[in-house]
Structure 1
């Protein structure tokens, strides 16, 4: 895991090494082990290295081919680099290092941009081809590693984080109000846009070729939810078990200490159990807990798993001590706020883990891939009942409408269904429902946004950009496709920033693209029978984990006691000042104080706190000095 940056000037003008160095200076946390800069006519590449595989100087980046005509700056890990190396060697390639970086470089030399289809891993990279005078940029299929850029037609600037782009004199921090509306409505910004007006991001599974004449952006991978796997369930479970075991085995590769995150939930517990099969010696696992009572403490489950698989559990107590300065630090690292208060304990656990290991495997992605959220059941059932009321039957899902109706009534959602019916709306993520939600959100928050900006929101045309109907054959798969393409990247943003803030490489084996593709082929009634969450994952876990874990139904996530903390911190002057939202109102982004009338709303309070800090750090202050101003004293 590393930090990458670069500048390409289409007119061939020289790139100042001091400018690239400034970009790298704000990425030191991503790669404290080494730094490199490559300069040539019209191009400057920079790299900050976190040494994981081949920690010798042979893995230094930017790295070139033997002739010095092709250069790469790369962030991530290639989990099949050993197999690809053997294939390349058989074809005549000679290697100078044991790094996966060189495997990517040699693959590009042999196959060009088609090399991307061979890679199993998490990555974001840029390859400069001096002979073609082109820059080949790509992001991994799921979006685990970030890639941001600004292209003004004259120069193309890219980096792992937005703050590195802002180090370039020609790039300014202007807010994008349409994207801000997305964040206020959904807690993340969908699509290529960001909260910064000119900054774009490569989406999961995208590549971009930049040359003197312009650029060409394309999607090289997408998941197809076609329900084509018609095998008996035992055969599906057997293959899924093999895939998951192989994914964890591959992702344990490292030349540095490796551990796991262990919350006590099914996903991280299974990853830890599988890791123990392949990890030689003692495996450190890390659990975060709160002292506010059983509603906020899952550590007993983590301890049960650690005992069962013989892992060494490190307990991390997370409290409100230094919460405010740490949040300021985190907002700087995040670049743009996203997701909920779980961001904070996730950072604190990563911080503790980094004192013992340099790599940690976690269970991110289990809910999105294996059907783990209550909203999956609720939205599916509402959709089924709506279809029946409109005379569409069960929309070809195979689920019984009677069972869906029972779930709707049990959860008191009858009024929601009737409201959708009379408004002529579908449940999320239908485009009309999205537009209705955006309008309500803009009014509720008092956001200074006009109709044109609202319609420019990437959500205004629907959550899927129009692709979901082609990619799914059922209501459930439409929901899962949405999560994969839009919600999951926001969680991976948090995963990347909270770990990279302390120079920890975070790996997510449940998101191996082979597993994602496999689950997309499994019929809805097999992966979510009788609305049973994570049905297939539980079967994989049954021979590995205790029944206490495999039969858990009290999903908590990372339930942070934010409002309890804020009440205890009510005399903190800095916090009081932040929650006044002075900067948000001063910038004209809001027409009124967004917290008035909503003082007891945890999500709203969290959102205002994050946006106010973001506004002060990036819009009002000297952002280049922000880390010094807000850093609470080191990792």
Structure 2
């Protein structure tokens, strides 16, 4: 895991490389020719010798690489490339990417199994090649002005480039109130974009850009139409296939030349990863958990029980209300733009705890997306069965209540009854269901942008990844996999962990595992039925029966609600506005609890 950056026709990357020191404190590297300059910060995980230093070049010195991530099938790739005549000078996975590009060109990304952000400068063709992994585990941002081009692992590394326009992207700020993150490919800055997951970007020396998608999750299993999926003839073969793939993925994710630990919440996802990791026969593994000073939000008792069952060396920590003020500024320092996931603070805390003992941890991220575990996915299914005509909500009830929505009781009624959701269809309904700040509230919270975005499509990001041809559960999962997962969950985990120089690996997002799970019938996926069955022999019954609990700070307990321009805000909605305030100006003061 590392930090990478580079420029074409834009001069030194010394400042950009220094801005990424937290991502790679073990070593630094740089290289340049008359057009391209590459910068690198190393967090040494595989082949800890100087042979793994980057920027890395081929034997001829014509191809230069900086790489962030891990390629879990690099040993198999190395053997294949050696049979084809390639000579290696290190044991690193990054060198497999370098030789793989020599052999297969841009198609090398099709052969990589792992998480990655890649930058390759080819001196022969005078082209820069960028690529991001399929699920968006590793970040990659870029910007361009004419023939000048820059890229980096984080936005902060680009902010110092001379003559870069740092005006805010108003549409991104308007989107932020809907999603509570800035959706890809946007950032909060007009001139900086994020490369979408599963995409490559080729840049000519004159600044010409070509972007392409190299992977899509096309095949989703159709419903079987059964209320008892466990009795279906396909059930047992599916459980066995998933069990085998889970073991394989976890085993591959344990590969490292440094100690590996586990982030453990006590839920099914992280407990399944922990159980499989322990079963792989490693020495006693270390597990790390975080809790809160509000008992109803704390998962520490469940995490302790799981750790005891697996025999791990367990460590834990408690987040308190006192961490809120510090956390607000940390959110800006980590993400470089507004980002309001309330679990950002505890994720940073557990990463900091783990980083004191290990360099790498496995996590259970991705389980809800690929195995249908989110509560809102069930809500989405339940709404499809409503008998009241949608037109009644959209044409009668909602128009009657929205003008009164500044009254707290009216706003509460709209939220409780989903009056703004039930009259919509497809991505509009799904977007309205997930939005914490309602579309009719946004003009009051950002009145200076209200006229500019009066006819704006608030749900464009969900719409861009909507599959109308799929069943209802697959529609929701597909949308989450392309929006919430990369732009919220994986962004949060990457920034929080790399801020303390910790590599987090999510085995449940191995793309072969994701493809296998998505291809299973919808009834098998719903509520993590298939995942629970696949790991049933490894987990304590209490863990298997434990209902889904979100990993987020208890903001309703820590923040006192306040009213802004007639809109009463509390919890994550208020937190979102506090983060936006802090990004736009002087540090915001937290309201007393």
TM, length-normalised to structure 1? 0.82
Is the 8 Å Cα contact of residues 466 and 479 (structure 2) preserved in structure 1? no
Residues 566 and 439 from structure 1, CA distance in 2 versus in 1: closer, same or farther, beyond 3 angstroms? Answer: closer
Question: Given the alignment of the two structures, is residue 16 of structure 1 paired with residue 18 of structure 2, yes or no?
Answer: no
Question: Given the alignment of the two structures, is residue 385 of structure 1 paired with residue 378 of structure 2, yes or no?
Answer: no
Q: Match of 2:326?
A: 325
Distance in structure 1 (CA, Å) of the matches to 2:179 and 2:424: 22
Q: Deviations over 1:415-468 (max 9, x none)?
A: 9577666x56456456899999874142242342255546566x4545131652
Q: 1:560 aligns with which of 553, 556, 561?
A: 553
Residues 226 and 367 from structure 1, CA distance in 2 versus in 1: closer, same or farther, beyond 3 angstroms? Answer: closer
Shift, 1:91, TM fit: 1.2
Question: Given the alignment of the two structures, is residue 547 of structure 1 paired with residue 541 of structure 2, yes or no?
Answer: yes
Distance in structure 2 (CA, Å) of the matches to 1:357 and 1:70: 33
Q: Match of 1:88?
A: 81
Q: 1:259 aligns with which of 253, 258, 261?
A: 261
Question: Given the alignment of the two structures, is residue 7 of structure 1 paired with residue 7 of structure 2, yes or no?
Answer: yes
Question: Given the alignment of the two structures, is residue 477 of structure 1 paired with residue 474 of structure 2, yes or no?
Answer: yes
Residues 64 and 453 from structure 1, CA distance in 2 versus in 1: closer, same or farther, beyond 3 angstroms? Answer: farther
Residues 450 and 299 from structure 1, CA distance in 2 versus in 1: closer, same or farther, beyond 3 angstroms? Answer: closer
Equivalent residues in 2 for 1:233-632, closer than 5 Å: 233-293=235-295, 295-385=296-386, 416=417, 423=423, 425-426=425-426, 428=428, 439-450=439-450, 452-453=452-453, 459-461=458-460, 463-465=462-464, 468-469=467-468, 472-489=469-486, 490-528=488-526, 533-553=527-547, 555-566=548-559, 595=564, 597=566, 601-616=570-585
Residues 606 and 438 from structure 1, CA distance in 2 versus in 1: closer, same or farther, beyond 3 angstroms? Answer: closer
Equivalent residues in 2 for 1:206-225, closer than 5 Å: 206-213=199-206, 214-225=208-219
Is the 8 Å Cα contact of residues 351 and 496 (structure 2) preserved in structure 1? yes
When structure 1 is superposed on structure 2, of 331-340 and 542-551 the one drifting more is 331-340
Residues 556 and 430 from structure 1, CA distance in 2 versus in 1: closer, same or farther, beyond 3 angstroms? Answer: closer
Residues 313 and 268 from structure 1, CA distance in 2 versus in 1: closer, same or farther, beyond 3 angstroms? Answer: same
Distance in structure 2 (CA, Å) of the matches to 1:229 and 1:600: 40
The alignment covers a number of residue pairs equal to 557
Q: Deviations over 1:500-523 (max 9, x none)?
A: 000000111111111111122112
Is the 8 Å Cα contact of residues 148 and 160 (structure 1) preserved in structure 2? yes
* 3-state secondary structure, aligned to 2:274: helix
Distance in structure 2 (CA, Å) of the matches to 1:184 and 1:551: 35
Distance in structure 2 (CA, Å) of the matches to 1:72 and 1:229: 45
Is the 8 Å Cα contact of residues 134 and 212 (structure 1) preserved in structure 2? yes
Q: Match of 1:151?
A: 144
* 3-state secondary structure, aligned to 1:556: coil
Distance in structure 2 (CA, Å) of the matches to 1:425 and 1:142: 27
Distance in structure 2 (CA, Å) of the matches to 1:196 and 1:389: 38
Q: Match of 2:399?
A: none
Distance in structure 1 (CA, Å) of the matches to 2:438 and 2:388: 24
Residues 126 and 311 from structure 1, CA distance in 2 versus in 1: closer, same or farther, beyond 3 angstroms? Answer: same
Residues 165 and 386 from structure 1, CA distance in 2 versus in 1: closer, same or farther, beyond 3 angstroms? Answer: farther
Distance in structure 2 (CA, Å) of the matches to 1:264 and 1:120: 28
Distance in structure 2 (CA, Å) of the matches to 1:62 and 1:354: 25
Residues 183 and 389 from structure 1, CA distance in 2 versus in 1: closer, same or farther, beyond 3 angstroms? Answer: closer
Is the 8 Å Cα contact of residues 461 and 483 (structure 2) preserved in structure 1? no
Distance in structure 2 (CA, Å) of the matches to 1:433 and 1:504: 34
Q: Match of 1:65?
A: 58
Distance in structure 1 (CA, Å) of the matches to 2:200 and 2:99: 18
Residues 279 and 456 from structure 1, CA distance in 2 versus in 1: closer, same or farther, beyond 3 angstroms? Answer: farther
Distance in structure 1 (CA, Å) of the matches to 2:483 and 2:420: 26
Residues 433 and 447 from structure 1, CA distance in 2 versus in 1: closer, same or farther, beyond 3 angstroms? Answer: farther
Distance in structure 1 (CA, Å) of the matches to 2:514 and 2:528: 14
Is the 8 Å Cα contact of residues 427 and 463 (structure 2) preserved in structure 1? no
Shift, 1:195, TM fit: 1.2
Is the 8 Å Cα contact of residues 445 and 594 (structure 1) preserved in structure 2? no
Distance in structure 2 (CA, Å) of the matches to 1:344 and 1:31: 21
Residues 5 and 558 from structure 1, CA distance in 2 versus in 1: closer, same or farther, beyond 3 angstroms? Answer: same
Question: Given the alignment of the two structures, is residue 42 of structure 1 paired with residue 39 of structure 2, yes or no?
Answer: no
Q: Deviations over 1:356-412 (max 9, x none)?
A: 00001111111111111111011112124369989xxxxxxxxxxxxxxxxxxxxx9
Shift, 1:556, TM fit: 2.1
Q: Match of 2:403?
A: none
Alignment RMSD, CA only?
A: 2.8
Residues 315 and 434 from structure 1, CA distance in 2 versus in 1: closer, same or farther, beyond 3 angstroms? Answer: closer
Distance in structure 1 (CA, Å) of the matches to 2:419 and 2:579: 35
Shift, 1:561, TM fit: 2.7
Q: Match of 1:176?
A: 169
Shift, 1:164, TM fit: 0.5
Distance in structure 2 (CA, Å) of the matches to 1:244 and 1:117: 21
Consecutive unaligned residues of structure 2, counting only runs of 5 or more, are 225-232, 392-412, 589-593
Distance in structure 2 (CA, Å) of the matches to 1:30 and 1:242: 33
Consecutive unaligned residues of structure 1, counting only runs of 5 or more, are 10-14, 391-411, 568-578, 580-592, 622-635
Shift, 1:608, TM fit: 2.1
